[in-house]
Amino acid sequence: MSRANDGRIPGISLIGLRGSGKTTVGERLARKLDRDFIDLDLLITLSERKSIRSIFDESGESGFRDIEENALAALVEHAHGSIIATGGGAILRESNRDRLRRHGAVVWLSAGIDTIRRRLAARSSEVDDRPPLTPLGTLDELEAILVERAPIYQELADFTMPADDLDAERIASEIVAWWGEGSFRREPKP
């Protein structure tokens, strides 16, 4: 098995916009690789005992980002080798990007706006659980958010997985195949 820097067993983190399938694919991936699966947003809601929306309402986006950063730091410290589904904006802080790289491989589930909008709009809870990040609202802001984040997702990802056709099982299998090829190597930091 390949090892990332500082002797850790490398894990895999999934990044991508809301509705790109990180949680569903992450669960399958963890099962296939026999690893623990951790959903960062779920971890936050359990440890804060509040929904993501309540955290946004009470502390704003910056308060949420602070909580998110602390949760990710603890995870990367203690859950070596795990499969992590990140929240779509977890990649915004450089400190988080550094931690994700340290954890292991980073896989971008890349889905188009129309796919994501359709997926989120299909169930009202998908929108209700996701507080808007701009005055445009959760569905209408997707395009602007993707324009802002795509270069960051791209730069951070070791592997980009097209996720428009969300057959989670197939997507997880393709990630396992990529992983199994041993293509992932991270040079040790000096």
The contact set with ligand S3P (CB under 6 A) reads: 18, 41, 52, 87-89, 130-131, 133
Closest CA to 50 of 69, 70, 67, 27: 67
Rounded least distance, CB 181 to ligand S3P, Å: 27
H or E element, residue 4 = none
Rounded least distance, CB 108 to ligand S3P, Å: 12
For ligand S3P, give the closer residue by CB, 10 or 19.
19
Rounded least distance, CB 85 to ligand S3P, Å: 7
For ligand S3P, give the closer residue by CB, 39 or 158.
39
For ligand S3P, give the closer residue by CB, 9 or 144.
144
Q: How far apart are CA 127 and CA 44, in angstroms?
A: 18
Q: Is the separation of the CB atoms in 25 and 108 below 8 Å?
A: no
Q: How far apart are CA 152 and CA 107, in angstroms?
A: 12
Residue nearest ligand S3P (C-beta atom): 87
Tokens 């859950």 correspond to 79
Q: How far apart are CA 31 and CA 164, in angstroms?
A: 22
Q: How far is CA 165 from each of CA 11, 48, 63, 114, rounded to the nearest angstrom?
A: 25, 34, 34, 12
Rounded least distance, CB 165 to ligand S3P, Å: 19
For ligand S3P, give the closer residue by CB, 18 or 80.
18
Rounded least distance, CB 18 to ligand S3P, Å: 4
For ligand S3P, give the closer residue by CB, 62 or 188.
62
